[in-house]
Amino acid sequence: MLVKGDTFEVVATDAQQTADHNIYVEWFNNFYRGFTPRLDPPLLFQRSIDRSEPGLMKIKCNIHDDIVGYLLVTEQGFAAVTDDDGNGVLNKWPAGKQSVNLFHPDYSFVNADAFVNGDKVLLDRSRLTIEISAMPLQLHFVGLRKKESSWPNR
């Protein structure tokens, strides 16, 4: 996750850091054209992020189909990640009524159950609207369904 104004860098961590990689990010608001200048390995990609993005963006290598990642660029930096059991924590979120957008590349939140601090809350497709008064908030999701991938080569 990055915040608007950060610098996004991709660094090779594979055994052959000098191998060619062609990093491709499906930008919406931070669109760049042209070739990426060659950087000194292991640094493969570097861009300043000027604006936030509307959702999670896929990162891939156009040469190696098995290299895939995701990037989130927000205005304020509020985000959380769940573990394999559907548990997560919201830390340092602003007080008041907040809308929390949920995303997982492999699972759907439709018809799933959501719990905040043990209490069941309304989950509208992939969005929670909750009143935040104290931190941290414990999240738990049950009944996520595996979805058909709309992104090939994941």
3-state secondary structure of 48: strand
User: How many beta carbons lie within 10 A of that of residue 28, not counting itself?
Assistant: 13
Phi, psi for 125 (deg, rounded to 5): 55, -90
CA distance 77 to 96: 17
Q: Band the pLDDT of 154: cuts 50, 70, 90.
A: very low
Task: Summarize pLDDT for 91-101 with one digit per residue, the tens.
Answer: 888 899 988 88
pLDDT at 17 over 80: no
CA distance 80 to 64: 28
Phi, psi for 72 (deg, rounded to 5): -120, 125
Task: Summarize pLDDT for 67-85 with one digit per residue, the tens.
Answer: 888 888 888 788 888 888 8
